[in-house]
Structure 1
Amino acid sequence: MASPSYDGILLGMGNPLLDISAVVDDEFLHKYDIKLNNAILAEDKHKSMYDEMSNKFNVEYIAGGATQNSIKVAQWMLQIPGATSYMGCIGKDKYGEEMKKNSTAAGVNVHYYEDENTPTGTCAVCVVGGERSLVANLAAANCYKSEHLKRPENWALVEKAKYYYIAGFFLTVSPDSIQLVAEHAAANNKVFTMNLSAPFICEFFRDPQEKALPYVDILFGNETEARTFSKVHGWETDNVEEIAKKICEWPKVTGRKRITVITQGADPVCVAEDGKVQLFPVILLPKEKLVDTNGAGDAFVGGFLSQLVQEKPIAECVKAGCYAANVIIQRSGCTYPEKPDFH
């Protein structure tokens, strides 16, 4: 069991998806109009791609979804059973069972809402030259309801946690659940963290994103998402450091100052806090060691959070994030060895 102080300290909520991951070719990307290094929601034109991937390429099935990835990595880094919990919606099917088995084996305390009528969500992870592109078919993940969150056994997880992480993708599903957790965090002086997650979230889910932002103590994102956020808000700057500072200045409901953490692939991680910016170099990896970038951003967040819940300084959190991301990009999908080797 977790030591009392770490029991359920970190709670994640998001869209649990079973990753269907494969190395594909340019022709496949072109056929389904998929851009590299992007994350989109599946449309009608993508319906047949999941089966085609399974038939045509060598696929792996890995329990994923952005928030769940981050929580699993944080759990792996902490090596304290039961330190993390997670909620989201799955279907009552074989993919859902696979997800439960996988996450429980990872040591995460999962409380899934199970939808009787909708299949478990899937995410096609198309890898070309080590770069990944994601096409998510949310299915059951889209059916999460705040009623599940309000059930006593689930709300108990919210009350027990001191840190929360929700990827921006969940804004498309249950913004009211996000508000409930955000308001609880603010009222109880707990730490609420989110992620920009994808350019389309900044563009098309601007209202729920802006409603959640005043509660966010730490906001994560990558350089593309940050630039899209800047464009959407008419800031007229592409400079990631400037954007990170401006995000910190966004109004806030509590007295705690916001920290903005922007990853930039192989370029340094940009951390803005209190009007200042610090840059932290990432661990560079020779090209031949790169397997795929799927889960790199999620792993960074997981590593970061694993130190944050131990109240380590931000520099240490970033180091742990870079370590975790470096481990994950040398493996297929968001997977990791049995034990971390982070000092």
Structure 2
Amino acid sequence: MSLTNLETRLLAQIKSQPFATQKELGEALGISRASVANYVDRLQSKGLILGRAYVFAESPAVTCIGGAVLDRILRLDEYGIPHTSQPGTSSETRGGVARNVAENLAQLGEIVKLISVVGNDDAGRSVIEATAAIGVDTSLVERKSTGVTGTYTAIMQPDGELYLGVADMGIIDHLDAQVIDRDWQHIVSSRLVFADTNCSDSLLSVLIKRCLHNDILLAIDAVSIPKFRRLPNNLKGVEFLFCNLDEAKSVHGDVSPQALAQQLHLRGAKNVVITDGARPVTCLCDSGITMVQIPKTDIVDVSGAGDAFVAGFMHAILGEKDPIEATKAGVVAAGLTVQSEMRNSPDLTAQVVAQNAQMIEIQRT
């Protein structure tokens, strides 16, 4: 992020005198108080200071924007049969795409902030307290006095595959474009921003444009077929777009993963990653299209695997890996998660991901 000479001098002066008045700062630099106010606004817009008495941005974090919900998991004892009652077991845990990604990133050693909204209820308090305990900064999560914390109910087959998922996330509609203005100083200082399409279409559109204008790395996950359509047609400003094959087909037709990746790239997304269950991952980046193989894994539960993939991928990007190497890291993270009944595998560590990513095979097309 480039600074003018005067911005650099003012920033240094503020660091040495964080409680100085604007008049005192102006006298030290030989400029007017009004000029100081103008330059302070610029430094705030660049995310370098966060307010008075000038609070400096900490080490740049990853900011995750989107769903934080209570997950209810119903596991069928036998394969699902429509229109009838069936025996099974139930459990609850913390969930939500952005929240899951944030927790996984924290496990991988990243500094993470979460922007979301929950109800002022027991479920919301439980989800946020558990997330904060992992190391995620939840200070930007809004607690609404009206509405209830969102829920996602997953009905799982005996083999761990999803039979049906039902999302009750009306409260997430409050994640609109106003949130970008409210939290912009935190967003603009981020090393990377991640958003899921639980966010409103207005937020996604504004976020894409402002990240493009400010050269901020932005990653977006499509989440589901209906929510994928919340994205604007022009995706210029999206550095990394994640979706699965069914989601991509719902928008661009029943063609090959390679053709779908090209279509999404033509819409403006710079790098496109398309997953397809246990089949190879399609990664489109500057070097072309690469198919990344998925090792055979004993599946306990697929829930959370996509979120772990995104976190593993972004962790590698932050470690200055290219998108192909990042896809390998994502594959490893997802593989660890499907072997656990939890949304966030306790075995997910940066060391394990780095070691195992080297063994993932690729095929260039």
Is TM (by shorter chain) over 0.5?
A: yes
- Counterpart of 1:262 (choices 265, 274, 280) is 274
Q: Which amino acid aligns with 1:115?
A: K
Instruction: Give the length in aligned residue pairs.
Output: 294
- Counterpart of 1:223 (choices 240, 245, 258) is 245
Alignment partner, residue 279 of structure 1: 291
Q: Residues 281-300 of structure 1 correspond to what in structure 2 (within 5 A)?
A: 281-285=293-297, 289-300=298-309
8 Å Cα contact 1:158-1:181 kept in structure 2: no
- Counterpart of 2:261 (choices 238, 244, 253) is 244
Deviation at 1:199, TM superposition (A): 1.7
**1:93 aligns to 2:121 (yes or no):** yes
Alignment partner, residue 40 of structure 1: none
**1:184 aligns to 2:201 (yes or no):** no
Identity of aligned residues (%): 21
> 1:189 and 1:141, CA in 2 relative to 1: closer, same or farther beyond 3 A?
same
- Counterpart of 1:144 (choices 175, 187, 191) is 175
Q: Distance in 1 between matches of 2:302 and 2:296?
A: 13
- Could you tell me which runs of 5 or more consecutive residues in structure 1 were left unpaired when the two chains were aligned: 33-51, 232-236
> 1:159 and 1:274, CA in 2 relative to 1: closer, same or farther beyond 3 A?
closer
Alignment partner, residue 70 of structure 2: 18
Deviation at 1:10, TM superposition (A): 1.2
Residues 133-176 of structure 1, C-alpha deviations (whole Å, 9 max, x = no match) = 3211114223334434433xx32221221211112232xxx223
**1:315 aligns to 2:324 (yes or no):** yes
Q: Distance in 2 between matches of 1:196 and 1:295?
A: 14
Q: Distance in 1 between matches of 2:305 and 2:185?
A: 31
Alignment partner, residue 105 of structure 1: 133
Q: Distance in 2 between matches of 1:210 and 1:31?
A: 37
Alignment partner, residue 353 of structure 2: 342
> 1:239 and 1:211, CA in 2 relative to 1: closer, same or farther beyond 3 A?
closer
Further displaced range: 56-65 or 189-198: 56-65
Q: Which amino acid aligns with 1:324?
A: A
User: Once superposed, what is the RMSD of the aligned Cα atoms?
Assistant: 2.5
> 1:338 and 1:105, CA in 2 relative to 1: closer, same or farther beyond 3 A?
farther
Alignment partner, residue 63 of structure 1: 94
**1:118 aligns to 2:156 (yes or no):** no
Alignment partner, residue 7 of structure 1: 59
Q: Distance in 2 between matches of 1:60 and 1:130?
A: 14
- Counterpart of 1:130 (choices 160, 174, 187) is 160
Query: What's the secondary structure of 2:335's corresponding residue?
Result: helix
Q: Distance in 2 between matches of 1:64 and 1:229?
A: 26
Larger Rg: 2
Query: What's the secondary structure of 1:190's corresponding residue?
Result: coil
Deviation at 1:209, TM superposition (A): 1.4
Deviation at 1:21, TM superposition (A): 1.2
